[in-house]
Amino acid sequence: MQTILLTFHVLVAIALIALILLQQGKGADAGAAFGSGASGSVFGAKGSSSFLSRTTAILATLFFVLSLAMAILSSEQTEQQSLTQQFEESQVVTPAVESTDIPASGDVPAVPMPEAP
């Protein structure tokens, strides 16, 4: 589910970037963008700016909704552990020598001390 949402989120982000780059600035004239016959274009004289603005607003809203949905889904998953907790739990304590090789404290012979010259 998260993979599908993430893929859709990336596609919406790319479309949003493309639409923002297609829009003209406030100082640009519609006649300069489409030539002198702007009223005969597909969107009409003013229709292109309102169409791009509306589509950008819809995609921006969809982007925020998808971001919120992915955040909620990720918080509902099982509690994640930090890397240090994962490392500590994965460490298995193994003794360097087997317990049968370790002599009891009474069985250890005393080490003779060398005599001083």
Q: What is the dihedral of CA 32, 35, 41, 42, to 10 degrees?
A: -60
- Other Cβ atoms less than 10 A from the Cβ of 59: the count is 19
Amino acid at position 38, single letter: A
Asked whether 99 and 34 are in contact (CB, 8 A), the reply is no
Q: What is the pLDDT of residues 38-84, one digit of tens each?
A: 554 555 555 556 888 899 999 999 999 999 999 998 887 766 667 77
Is the CA virtual torsion 11, 13, 14, 15 positive or negative? positive
Q: What predicted TM-score, i.e. pTM, was given to this entire model?
A: 0.50
User: Three-class SS of residue 12?
Assistant: helix
